[in-house]
């Protein structure tokens, strides 16, 4: 075979190899993306109950809404540390709470439908 | 081990670039059926095969060396498992695999040379060989310093790749050309002389373009890796780069001589033209090639040195030039500008002299005299003393904790002479040869942090200031410098008003830790780029009504992209409880570290009143700052200040909206004082 044809064939093979490599890489990225979406979906799937335990400081108590506003630690897999209002399962839980109290609380539910199911003041 | 690393990398680089140049010459040389030319071509082809083999072997050795460096074990250099891990898990490994794959392909191609039967075969073979050699050389950029440049890594790597390919095509072609000239200049090589003349002329035209490419891409690379004049003259990388440029000068002079004097004499008969000129050109081109190999050795050392932008600068001169120095001397700017104009005229005269041969001596003489005179006039006003640490960067961030530490150290070690407020009026300074410096004066901001570090470490013998290098650790000295910077900035900040000056950020807001109860602490600078910050220093009960107003306006402020952060000035104990829940205060209220933040920002809180001239004036009970998204304090308000106050929330929102409209003019402030 003529030399230029050999070179052309080698370049074609290289090009095809690159194309396949690119496509394989694209598929791999798509697969990883799907896996990530799946994992996220499973994490927040309706009906998949989860529980978080964290500490926080009481910023406000809104009995008319059955809500306590806390500046809280990270809630792993749900949200980072922030100031946030949470519904409280039982109004008795926030009885006796003062603004500025440091508390340990348990958050239960399937995001975004979560509520505080346990709450205890830490000793000052 | 380092000597081995340099040797291996140099060999690899020289072979890689040499191969690009060799194939470039084969591509440019054209075709000849003369026996001498054919013999030279065959020799070059054998050379290309040899270079490729050497390139692959040195590539393996470079892989072994890199494995030993990365793992920290000399034994790993011969461990195939460690090789495999490096190849599979690092960018170096990916680039190595791609490059050596291309080189293997090139090696296979070079074995097909004997089947080159037509011009198309010839072009395909040589063009393909050039592409593979150039790709193999250019890809080295992705395993070097250029690939680590942030944020324009791709641009830096592409420029570096172009630099490598252009340098290879230029430098690598020199020795093959020298070999051609040598055989053609020999008695038996007469048949190849026309071929050699055409080959050298063809290369000479391309070489001009290559030189420009090498210069432009090399300058761009230097900009990425060095970034400043101090880094160029004050680091190992910078010195190596200067040495590389210095070695390039004789190469360029030789190239110029070859092109202007020897190249036109290649044809013809006589004692100085034709064959003798060809022999001489061959020797000169070989000398260029030898210098090029030396330059590649420096390049290898550069690739193994930390880039100057990331290295500690040791300034080698006892002076430096700064425009600020001229502005502080009466008539300084005028003198500097006039001198600069004279120097520019002298420089232009020199350039014109290069172009006008008959006037060269006169223009060079007059231009040189004007240049020297201009510099003699211009430089003194812009010169200031400098020290080895002048351009050293602080190892301690400009943070409230550091500034508060610095303040304590200042009171213990410096206040006796410099005075409690830093004005140079301490009782201990009375008997000193020179009065202690006023640290609040504007010039303090013009000295580099490295200057201050030097004075703190070694003292100022002429002024009677003792050294503190032994008494204070390095971090403590940087704490002191951070405090002095805040003190000096605070003096300038006295004129700050509640109205934002558009597009004029200058007061860097010291960083601090936002710690609220058990929530994980985060830094103020983490809010940069996303949030403007309304920083409120308050005292209870005086600030209660203002905090209630802000609590009610919090949603509005957040909607404008502003986070409110409140810092208690007084007793921080149970501060959230003491704020109460009516109305709910939901913005961050600092519960830990408030004292350091308050002490730091107190330095920036003084106004223009006569009682506030001393930094020991009673601190304010309530003060608010507005910080832009880049981290600069842009406006300040205190209750009772004249004009439209921020107690009218709309007035505050107007200032926020003014900030919001701004387009950031530059990068956010450096976290380290400099």
Among B532, B539, B515, B502, which residue's Cα sits nearest to residue B639?
A: B539
pLDDT at B616: 52
The string of pLDDT tens digits covering residues B288-305 is 999 999 999 999 999 989
pLDDT at B75: 85
Q: Pick the residue from chain B with its C-alpha nearest to A70.
A: B586
- Determine the average pLDDT of the residues in B308-335: 88
Whether residue B193 is predicted with pLDDT greater than 90 in this model: the reply is no
Same fold, B400-493 and B496-661: no
- pLDDT bin (cut points 50, 70, 90) of residue B435 is confident
Residue-wise burial string across B426-440, b where 16 or more C-beta atoms lie within 10 A, e elsewhere: beebeeeeeebbbbb
pLDDT at B674: 46
Q: Where are the domains of chain A?
A: 1-43, 50-121
Q: Pick the residue from chain B with its C-alpha nearest to A72.
A: B519
Angstrom distance (rounded) from CA B266 to CA B279: 9
**CB neighbours of residue B217 within 10 Å:** 20
Residues of A in contact with B117 (CB under 8 A): 2-3
Residues of A in contact with B591 (CB under 8 A): 57
Whether residue B229 is predicted with pLDDT greater than 80 in this model: the reply is yes
pLDDT at A43: 60
The string of pLDDT tens digits covering residues B326-376 is 887 888 899 999 999 999 999 999 999 888 888 888 988 999 999 999 999
Q: Where are the domains of chain B?
A: 2-310, 322-374, 400-493, 496-661
Whether residue B445 is predicted with pLDDT greater than 60 in this model: the reply is no
Angstrom distance (rounded) from CA A99 to CA B669: 37
The conformation of residue B566, written as its DSSP 8-state character, comes to E
Angstrom distance (rounded) from CA B411 to CA B407: 6
Contact A101 B577 (CB under 8 A): yes
Check: CB of residue B353 under 8 Å from CB of residue B372: no
Check: CB of residue B183 under 8 Å from CB of residue B44: no
Contact of B520 with chain A, judged by CB distance below 8 Å, is answered with yes
- pLDDT bin (cut points 50, 70, 90) of residue B405 is very high
- Of all residues in chain A, the percent with pLDDT exceeding 70 is 94
CATH 1.10.760.10 fits B400-493, yes or no: yes
Measured between its terminal Cα atoms, the distance across chain A in Å is 89
Cα B24–chain centre separation: 34
Alpha carbon distances (Å) from B364 to B260, B341, B352, B378: 21, 17, 9, 20
Q: Pick the residue from chain A with its C-alpha nearest to B111.
A: A3
The string of pLDDT tens digits covering residues B612-654 is 555 555 567 899 999 999 999 999 998 887 778 898 999 999 9
- Determine the average pLDDT of the residues in A12-26: 89
Question: Model's pTM, two decimal places?
Answer: 0.78
Contact of A75 with chain B, judged by CB distance below 8 Å, is answered with no
Question: What are residue A55's DSSP bridge partners?
Answer: A104
Using CA atoms in the order B339, B340, B345, B346, what is the torsion angle rounded to 10 degrees? 70
The string of pLDDT tens digits covering residues B450-478 is 999 999 999 998 888 999 999 999 999 99
Angstrom distance (rounded) from CA B59 to CA B106: 14
Mean pLDDT rounded to a whole number for chain B: 89
Whether residue B109 is predicted with pLDDT greater than 60 in this model: the reply is yes
Question: CATH second-level architecture of A50-121?
Answer: Beta Barrel (2.40)
Among B502, B526, B500, which residue's Cα sits nearest to residue B513?
A: B526
- Determine the average pLDDT of the residues in B563-569: 95
Q: Pick the residue from chain A with its C-alpha nearest to B109.
A: A7
Question: CATH second-level architecture of B496-661?
Answer: 3-Layer(aba) Sandwich (3.40)
Angstrom distance (rounded) from CA A106 to CA B321: 63
The string of pLDDT tens digits covering residues B247-262 is 999 999 999 888 888 8
Q: If you average pLDDT over each of B273-282, B355-364, B476-485, B655-664, which comes out highest?
A: B476-485
Residue-wise burial string across A70-97, b where 16 or more C-beta atoms lie within 10 A, e elsewhere: bbbbebeebeebebbbbebbeeebbeeb
Contact of B586 with chain A, judged by CB distance below 8 Å, is answered with yes
Residues of A in contact with B579 (CB under 8 A): 99-100
The string of pLDDT tens digits covering residues B33-70 is 889 999 999 999 999 999 999 999 999 999 999 999 99
Q: How far off is chain A from B187, nearest CA to CA, in Å?
A: 35
Contact of B57 with chain A, judged by CB distance below 8 Å, is answered with no
**CB neighbours of residue B509 within 10 Å:** 27
């Amino acid at each position: 075979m003529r030399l230029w044809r050999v070179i052309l064939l080698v370049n074609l093979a290289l090009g095809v190899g690159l194309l396949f490599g690119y496509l394989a890489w694209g598929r791999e990225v798509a697969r990883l993306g799907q896996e990530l979406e799946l994992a996220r979906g499973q994490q927040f799937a309706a009906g998949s109950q989860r529980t978080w335990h964290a500490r926080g400081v009481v910023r406000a108590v809104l009995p008319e809404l059955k809500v306590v506003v806390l500046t809280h630690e990270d809630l792993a897999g749900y949200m980072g540390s922030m100031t946030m209002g949470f519904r409280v399962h039982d109004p008795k839980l926030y009885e006796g709470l003062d603004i500025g109290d440091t508390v340990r609380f348990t958050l239960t539910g399937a995001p975004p439908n979560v509520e505080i199911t346990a709450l205890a003041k830490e000793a000052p | 081990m380092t000597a081995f690393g340099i040797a291996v990398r140099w060999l690899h680089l020289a072979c890689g670039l040499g191969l690009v140049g060799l194939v470039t010459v084969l591509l440019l040389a054209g075709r000849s059926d003369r026996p001498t030319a054919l013999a030279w071509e065959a020799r070059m082809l054998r050379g290309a095969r040899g270079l490729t083999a050497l390139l692959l072997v040195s590539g393996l050795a470079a892989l072994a060396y890199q494995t030993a460096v990365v793992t920290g074990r000399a034994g790993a250099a011969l461990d195939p498992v460690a090789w495999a891990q490096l190849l599979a898990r690092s960018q170096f490994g990916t680039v190595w695999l791609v490059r050596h794959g291309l080189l293997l392909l090139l090696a296979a191609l070079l074995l097909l040379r004997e089947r080159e039967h037509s011009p198309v075969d010839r072009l395909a073979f040589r063009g393909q060989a050039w592409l593979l050699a150039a790709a193999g050389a250019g890809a080295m950029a992705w395993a070097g310093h250029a690939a680590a440049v942030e944020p324009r890594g791709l641009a830096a790597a592409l420029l570096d790749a172009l630099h490598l390919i252009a340098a290879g095509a230029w430098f690598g072609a020199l020795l093959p050309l020298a070999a051609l000239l040598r055989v053609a200049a020999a008695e038996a090589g007469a048949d190849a002389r026309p071929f050699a003349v055409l080959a050298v002329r063809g290369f000479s035209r391309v070489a001009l373009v290559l030189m420009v490419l090498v210069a432009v891409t090399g300058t761009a690379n230097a900009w990425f890796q060095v970034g400043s004049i101090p880094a160029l003259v004050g680091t190992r990388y910078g010195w190596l780069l200067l040495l590389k440029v210095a070695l390039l000068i004789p190469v360029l002079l030789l190239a110029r001589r070859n092109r202007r004097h020897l190249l036109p004499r290649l044809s013809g008969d006589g004692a100085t033209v034709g064959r003798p000129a060809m022999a001489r050109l061959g020797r000169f081109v070989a000398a260029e090639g030898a210098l090029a190999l030396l330059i590649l050795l420096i390049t290898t050392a550069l690739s193994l040195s930390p880039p100057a932008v990331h290295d500690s600068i040791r300034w080698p001169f006892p002076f430096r030039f700064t425009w600020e120095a001229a502005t502080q001397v009466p008539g300084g700017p005028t003198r500097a500008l006039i001198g600069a104009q004279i120097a520019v005229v002298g420089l232009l005269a020199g350039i014109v002299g290069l172009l006008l041969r008959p006037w060269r001596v006169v223009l060079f003489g007059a231009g040189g005299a004007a240049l020297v005179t201009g510099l003699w006039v211009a430089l003194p006003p812009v010169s200031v003393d400098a020290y080895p640490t002048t351009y050293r960067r602080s190892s301690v961030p400009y943070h409230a904790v550091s500034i508060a530490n610095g303040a304590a150290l200042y009171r213990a070690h410096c206040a006796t002479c410099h005075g409690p407020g830093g004005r140079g009026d301490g009782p201990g300074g009375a008997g000193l040869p020179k009065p202690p410096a006023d640290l609040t004066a504007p010039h303090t901001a013009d000295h580099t942090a490295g200057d201050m570090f030097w004075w703190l470490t070694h003292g100022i013998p002429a002024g009677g200031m003792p050294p503190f290098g032994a008494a204070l650790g390095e971090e403590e000295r940087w704490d002191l410098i951070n405090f002095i910077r805040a003190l000096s900035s605070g003096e300038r900040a006295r004129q700050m008003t509640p109205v934002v000056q558009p597009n004029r950020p200058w007061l860097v807001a010291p960083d601090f830790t936002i710690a609220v109860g058990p929530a994980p602490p985060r830094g103020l600078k983490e809010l940069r780029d996303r949030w403007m910050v309304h920083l409120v220093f308050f005292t209870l009960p005086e600030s209660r009504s203002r905090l209630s107003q802000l609590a009610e306006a919090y949603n509005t402020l957040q909607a404008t992209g502003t986070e409110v952060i409140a810092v208690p000035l007084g007793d921080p104990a149970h501060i959230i409880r003491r704020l109460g829940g009516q109305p709910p205060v939901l913005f961050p209220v600092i519960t830990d570290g408030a004292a350091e933040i308050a002490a730091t920002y107190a330095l920036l809180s003084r106004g223009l009143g006569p009682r506030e001239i001393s930094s020991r004036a009673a601190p304010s009970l309530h003060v608010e700052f507005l910080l832009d998204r880049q981290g600069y304090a842009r406006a300040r308000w205190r209750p009772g200040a004249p004009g439209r106050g921020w107690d009218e929330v709309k007035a505050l929102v107007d200032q926020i909206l003014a900030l919001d409209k701004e387009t950031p003019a530059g990068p956010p402030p450096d976290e380290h004082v400099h």
